[in-house]
A and B are shown apart, each in its own frame.
Chain A
Amino acid sequence: MMKQNLRSNREDFRRKFIVLCILQEYYSGNLWDQQDNWKDNLIKLTETKYQEEIDLFREGLKLVANPDIKAMFDYNRLFVGPGKLLAPPYESSYRNPKSLVMQKETLDVRAFYSTVGLISLNQNSQPDDFLALELEFMGFLLFNAMMYFYDDNDRSEHFINLYTRFLEEHLGKWISQHCEEILTQSTSDFCRGMALITKGFIEHELMLKEEIAV
């Protein structure tokens, strides 16, 4: 049943991967060093055609044309500092009762990474549940599902199951709240747009997961 569903959505893998890569790049902060590349990203995002299925994605796309310096200052207030972060990009900030990083919530994510033999490059300096890492991890799982798609269906399915589980147990548990914080606190169209895209995309993924489960 599941295999059928995945096979029939093979094109989706590519689309999802593109979105995850761009979101990962956005949250890792690389964007601000390579703003010229943003036009390419915008084209890629548009080509996924998610705007035709996801309302928030469509709304978001309209806002993200111009990552200007005001957007960067806003981005730093939201995710980087030096002040109290308005929308911290860490799972534990939403799921730990006191919003602390490196607690059980972070270590659970670490443990999840280790089930496929991965660790954070900056383990114990960068919290494992940093959003850019969680997105990278999702991308990795998807990439592997894609890799083994033709040669090893079981293996491919294993990765897509992990993808679904991570979504269900981690990213999907907090991303909406995180994006809501951005939408409340942000002063730039760009960051609001990216929040809409992120929220729209991940919520769509969660919805698909439920369909698969049915």
Chain B
Amino acid sequence: MNKGISRRSFIKGTAAAGAALGLSGAGFAFSGLKAADASEDMGTKVFQNACPRNCYDTCSILSTVQNGVLTKIEGNPLNTFTRGRVCAKGYTYTRRVYSPDRIKYPMRQKERGSGNWERISWDEAFTVIAQNILKIKKEYGSTLPICLNKYSGNFDILHYGIEGTLSSIGNTSRATGTPCWPAGIDSQTFDMGTIYNNDPEDFVNSKYLILWGVNPAWTSVHSMYFVEEAQRRGCKIVVIDPILTQTATKGDLYLQIKPSTDGALALGMARYILDNNLYDLDWLTANALGYEEFFHYLKQNITIDWAAEKTGLPKHVIESLAREYAAAKPANIWIGYGMQRHVNGGQNVRAIDALAAMTGNIGKSGGGAQYAQLETWGFNYHAMIQSKPEGSGGNGDRAININNFGAEVLAAKEPPIKMLWIACRNPMTQDPETSVVKKAFEAMDFVVTVDQFFNPTVEMSDIVLPSTTIFEAPGVNVSYWHYWLCLNEQAIKPMFEAKSDVEIAMGLSKKMNEIEPGSCTFPTSGDLKDWVGKEFNAGILKQFGLNDWKELEKGPAKAKAGLIAWEDGKFRTPSGKFEIWSEEAKKFGHLPMPVYREELKSGSEYPIRCISPHWKLNIHSQFQNIDWMQSIHNSPFIEIHPETAQKYGIQEKDNVKMYNDLGYIVLPAKITETVAHDIVVVYEAWYKDQNFNVNYTVKAIPSDMGKKATGMTGLAFHDNFVNIVKM
């Protein structure tokens, strides 16, 4: 005691310094640590999860959690479509959850785009957001100046609570439509009443399968098992694509069609089938409306020579393709989303549908014109459907075209748009006309983004809120392709301060009601697992042969019926028939029949078509930022045909500037014969910390269809014309 200080004075002396640690009495006052209880060993558990990404496959996942830490994920073998495996992207999930780059806390940016962020509490975040909403409502008499842009970042059913969040505050503006697939949806809606595909596991029963503008070897890896199994059983696989894809390499026949001329090929084939009496008149008579008119059109307007010239495919190839397709019973076509991202995409899909109908392949196992299905999506949408508060101003929600978002946000009047709520979406990288989108963000008074990683959209936000990964909050998932239903259990605690979108809505509602009682109808509390249960109804339980949704805790379930589309012949069109002639199409400003609509052609200034398809290691702006993906691949490139490259003096790995009047990108050349002479390919992606975005050059050109089923026309992503120059 003589030389040093007493314990007492030691404590006294450090009390001020140790404000966080604190010291009380003789004990050490903890801050972030605590004494452990004996019961804290949680052992090893396995949970049911589902991949909710915008992908055909919607994998059933088993996740292993040791002492509360996610250590492994694997495919659930009980799902006979995903068959115990996930894809390369899915296997990175453990990395996503524990990435050091995750957004960890609610944060506020001092000036949009400045990079000056301060950390705030959830309470402060809710307060600031609530105040902004209420201020706008007061100033404009409604919440219509608030615009939601949410789409496909997470298709878990509880994530429709994001739409619910906005509904619960009043009438709002909504980014409406879908960028990816609406033209094809409308086509099949006009033809058959809705989109409805056979169970993809049924591919094995096909004798002939055309993969038309789809690259499942990259974008639906589990479907490839069934495609290849069909092939093993003797089915011929034909791949039609402007790009020699990895799927094409697996086919028995590959046809490099000129982009956007798929309808011409289908019509040419139809003419051959008609001329050679290879069509199924019985089926048409019983099930189709307008086939006589269609036949008349074919005879009057279509020749195989014309189709050959349009498509760039030799006449004899079209003839043999038509002959084989018509002769094989059953014959199947998988219509991809890529082929409808054109100004004539919807009309082209209608021509293919007609081909399937005239050969009597619709409604049959092993046959059909597969596009997508929403048959298994009959949930209650309990999280989504929220009532509007009493006295909400405005007359209903206002639709803003998701496919021309920037321009429409800027143009909105009476009232203008002042605030954005962005969730499950990254418009700054995924929308066309990036510069216009940026202007729209700049024009806002207030932007809230909910996300997991810092990206160009977060960069343009005032408030960012950290969202949970699929392992950190419960949910339930189905696919728009296969027929499985899979629970998503909460496997681990949310990392850092992440919250699920529904919890965010609850917190915001609580705050809004504190500030102004009655201003938000969203429930202010609730158990998320109970909320999963509230999504189920008798119909969906029956469809999947369940007595109780909790049976899904044992594993995923497959629909018990309805696996062969249109097997009952009851089409959901106005006439109840397959409508080759559609009055409904006419009402939406289209030709009633799949008459060929001219494709968009390149001009002299921008002579090259740029196709920007999906890349195998990402889904839009998701996954490419994860370390495992970066180790495999971390730089974009432009694919150019060798002769085109030679013409422009470009060699492998040379930096190439690809440009048009909208913008440009610079990226290294990959010289390959997999693309045609007049096409370049740049895969769409967001690379972390890289100023690459193919959408700098993509205009918001609408595709022909989409308005009926999705509210807005689609985007002709692949009608992008550019020039290239060596840098």
Contacts and interface: CB of A to CB of B under 8 A. Distances in A.
Interface size of B as a range = 35 or more
B727 to A, nearest CB: 28
Contacts of B286: none
A136 B70 CA distance: 26
Interface stretch (A59-67, A73-81, A176-184, A196-204): A73-81
Interface string A78-94: 00111111001010110
Given A44-B17, A121-B33, A122-B32, A93 B493 contact: no
A130 B32 contact: yes
A31 B70 CA distance: 32
Contacts of B5: 11, 14
Interface residues of A, number: 65
A119 B40 CA distance: 9
A195 interface: no
A28 B20 contact: yes
Contacts of B497: 125
A125 B495 contact: yes
Interface stretch (B112-120, B599-607, B653-661): B112-120
Contacts of A153: none
A82 B114 CA distance: 13
B31 A80 contact: no
Contacts of A147: 7, 26
B145 to A, nearest CB: 25
Contacts of A121: 30-34
A66 B98 CA distance: 34
Contacts of A150: 1, 7
B648 interface: no
A82 B31 contact: no
B69 interface: yes
Given A80-B119, A93-B100, A98-B95, A14 B688 contact: no
B101 A85 contact: yes
Nearest to B34: A121
A17 B14 contact: yes
B689 interface: yes
Contacts of A133: 32-33
A14 to B, nearest CB: 6
B314 interface: no
Given A72-B118, A121-B32, A100 B110 contact: no
A76 B117 contact: yes
A24 interface: yes
A17 B5 CA distance: 13
Nearest to B114: A73
A211 interface: no
Contact of B69 (A107, A132, A140): A107
Contacts of A88: 100
A22 to B, nearest CB: 6
B19 interface: yes
Nearest to A12: B4
Interface string B11-41: 0011011111101001010111111100010
Given A90-B100, A118-B34, A136-B32, A14 B107 contact: no
A77 B20 contact: no
Contact of B458 (A24, A82, A100): A82
A139 B21 contact: yes
Interface string A120-139: 11111110001011001101
Contact of A118 (B10, B35, B68, B464): B35
Interface string A41-78: 10010000000000000000000000000001100110
A21 B14 CA distance: 8
Interface in A22-42: 22, 24-25, 28-30, 32, 34, 37, 40-41
Interface string B483-495: 0000000001111
Interface in B73-107: 95, 97-105, 107
Interface string B681-722: 000000011000000000000000000000000000000000
A121 B105 CA distance: 17
A113 interface: yes
A50 B195 CA distance: 74
Contacts of B4: 10-11, 14
B588 interface: no
A191 interface: no
Nearest to A122: B32
Nearest to A11: B4
B117 A136 contact: no
Nearest to A18: B17
Given A40-B17, A125-B494, A102 B32 contact: no
Interface centre among A25, A80, A103, A143 (most CB of B within 10 A): A143
Interface in B450-489: 454, 458, 464, 466
A12 to B, nearest CB: 10
Interface centre among B7, B98, B101 (most CB of A within 10 A): B98
Contacts of A122: 32
A185 B71 CA distance: 32
Contacts of B105: 80-82
A82 B103 contact: yes
A83 B493 contact: no
A98 B630 CA distance: 11
Interface in B634-678: none
A34 B19 contact: yes
B14 A117 contact: no
B32 A25 contact: no
Contacts of B31: 24, 28, 121, 132, 136
B3 interface: yes
A167 interface: no
B149 to A, nearest CB: 19
B32 A101 contact: no
B95 A81 contact: no
A14 B36 contact: no
B252 interface: no
B719 to A, nearest CB: 35
B429 to A, nearest CB: 15
8 closest A-B pairs (Cβ-Cβ)? A21-B18, A124-B68, A83-B454, A25-B20, A73-B116, A10-B4, A119-B36, A102-B98
17 contacts: A13-B10, A17-B14, A21-B18, A73-B110, A81-B103, A81-B104, A81-B107, A83-B117, A85-B101, A90-B100, A100-B95, A118-B33, A119-B34, A121-B31, A126-B32, A126-B496, A139-B18
Given A76-B119, A80-B104, A130-B32, 19 more contacts: A13-B10, A18-B13, A18-B17, A21-B17, A22-B17, A24-B31, A25-B17, A25-B21, A81-B103, A82-B107, A82-B454, A100-B95, A102-B495, A114-B36, A117-B36, A119-B35, A124-B493, A133-B33, A147-B7
